[in-house]
Amino acid sequence: MSCLEPHRKRAFGPPAIVPETVTLEAQDMPGLRPVACVEEGAEVALGTPVMHDRARPAIRVVAPVAGRVVRVETGLGRRVIRVVIRPAGPARAAPVRAVGDTRELMLIHGLWCDLRTRPFDRVPDPEVRPKAILVNALDGAAVAAAQAAPFALGHGLRALCRLTDGPVILCQHGGAALAPAEGRVELDTVAPRHDGMAHRLRRLCSVAHGGEVWTLDAQTAIALGRLCGEGLFDPTRLVEIVTPMGEVAGLRQAPLGADLAEALKEAGWTTPATRPLRRNESRIDPRHDAVPPPDGALGPIVPVPALAATLPMRLRAIPLLHALQIGDAETARRHGCLDLVEGDMRAASAICASGADYGALLRRVLDELEGER
C-alpha cells in the first residue's frame, strides 16, 4: 500500500482476488455514450484509456490491469457495451506522473466515472460546479479502506474541495472520525445504522428544489488522495462479500471489473455466474442480485412504518411510492424524488407487498423529469 501511512493496521490487507478476466461495463458510465478506444487483441498497460465518452472524450475509463484486450462488445452506432481484458499479472498500485489539478487528475486516471450526480445519478459534466460533494463511507469496505489509509483519505477530501465552492462532506456511521474536518471538509457522523446516502443528502443538502450535488465512494477519494499525495495509481478496491444467509463473509481486494465468481463460490453462493466488480460497488449481496419479480399487476401498498422508514421523505414516503407506482412524475418531484437514485429504493422494494420494483419505477420518472429540463 502506501509508504506514507505511519501505522497501517494490516500489513498486507485483505486477501486479493487475482481474476481470470476483467470486464469494464459501459453501464457504469450512466448518461454517457461511450465508444471504445482499443481494439480486440491490443496490449494495454495499467491506466491505458479503454473507452471514452463520444461527446466529451476527456471522460474516460482506463484499464485497471495490464494485459490483453480479449473482447470488445459493441451495440448500435459503435456504442460499446463492455470491454474484457485478460490480465497479465496481479493488479497493484503503480507510480504515475500525477500532474494537473484535481479535475484533470480524475479525468486522466478514469476516476471521474466514479462520480455521480444527484439528481438523476449520472456521470457529472466536468464544467459544472456542484453545491456540495458527499463522500460515502457508510459500508464496511469503505470504512476498512479509510482506516487503512487515513492520510490518503484526507488528501483526497482536500483535493475534492477544489471541485466545489460548497462543503465536501464525509458521511459515516458514528465511530471515530475517519478523516479530520478542516477547511471545507465536514464530517457527518450520525449513528443510525440503516440509513443511506439518500437520508444524508436529504438532511444535509437536498436537491429536491434545485441544485446539483455529487456523490462518490470513500475508496475513490482514497485513490485520488494517493494519486495527489504519493503519485500512486491504485486500481484496486475493497469489496465486502455477503453470504446467501445475509452474513458478511469477509473483505476482498480486487481490481475494478474483476470477475468475482471464484470469491462468491467461496462465500457459499450456489451458482455464481461471471460477475464483474462494478464501479462504486463495495458490497456484493445475493439478495440485491435477485431477479426482480415478473411485472404483472401491482398489489396495494400496505402503508406500514417500516416501509416509510426506508425513505428519507418522512411524511411523504407513502405518497411518493404511490406516485411512483402510477408513474406521476410531477407529483413524485413534488414529494422529493430528485433526492433519490435507484439504489436507494432497494429496501422499499423488499419490504413493500405490492411487488413493485421501485428502482425501475423511479428511473422511469427520473428519465421523464430529466427530459423536461
Where do contacts with other proteins occur on this chain (CB under 8 A)? 209, 246, 296-297, 299-308, 314-316, 318-319, 334-335, 351-353
Shortest reach from residue 368's CB to other proteins, in Å: 21
Task: DSSP for 12-59, please give it.
Answer: S-SPBP--S-EEEEGGGSTT--EEE-S-TT-EE-TT-EEEEESS-TTS
Q: Which is nearer to other proteins, 308 or 341 (CB)?
A: 308
Shortest reach from residue 196's CB to other proteins, in Å: 16
Q: Which is nearer to other proteins, 30 or 268 (CB)?
A: 268
Q: Which is nearer to other proteins, 58 or 306 (CB)?
A: 306
Residue 19 burial (10 A CB sphere; 0-12, 13-18, 19+): buried
Q: Which is nearer to other proteins, 10 or 194 (CB)?
A: 194
Q: How many CA atoms lie within 13 A of 227 on its CB side?
A: 30
State the Cα–Cα distance between residues 212 and 209, nearest whole angstrom.
Answer: 10
CA angle (134 as vertex; 129, 139 as ends), nearest 5: 150
Handedness of CA 103, 108, 114, 119 (dihedral sign): positive
Q: Tell me how long the chain is.
A: 373
Shortest reach from residue 131's CB to other proteins, in Å: 13
Q: How many CA atoms lie within 13 A of 171 on its CB side?
A: 25
Shortest reach from residue 123's CB to other proteins, in Å: 27
Q: Which is nearer to other proteins, 75 or 293 (CB)?
A: 293
Q: Which is nearer to other proteins, 45 or 302 (CB)?
A: 302
Q: Which is nearer to other proteins, 79 or 283 (CB)?
A: 283
Shortest reach from residue 187's CB to other proteins, in Å: 25
Shortest reach from residue 318's CB to other proteins, in Å: 4
Q: Which is nearer to other proteins, 74 or 243 (CB)?
A: 243
Q: Which is nearer to other proteins, 57 or 299 (CB)?
A: 299
Q: In the structure grid, which three cell numbers stand for residue 195, read together?
A: 440509513
User: Omega before 95 cis (within 30°)?
Assistant: no
Shortest reach from residue 362's CB to other proteins, in Å: 19
Tell how far CA 204 is from the center of its chain: 19
Q: Give the three-state DSSP class for 272.
A: coil
Shortest reach from residue 354's CB to other proteins, in Å: 8
Shortest reach from residue 45's CB to other proteins, in Å: 43
State the Cα–Cα distance between residues 186 and 206, nearest whole angstrom.
Answer: 16
Is residue 162 within 8 A of residue 198, CB to CB? The reply is no
Burial 286-325 (b: 16+ CB within 10 A, else e): beeeeeeeeeeeeeebeeeeebbbbbbbeebbbbbbbbbb
State the Cα–Cα distance between residues 189 and 172, nearest whole angstrom.
Answer: 5
Shortest reach from residue 46's CB to other proteins, in Å: 39
Q: Which is nearer to other proteins, 56 or 283 (CB)?
A: 283
**Eight-class DSSP state of 291:** P
Is residue 45 within 8 A of residue 63, CB to CB? The reply is yes
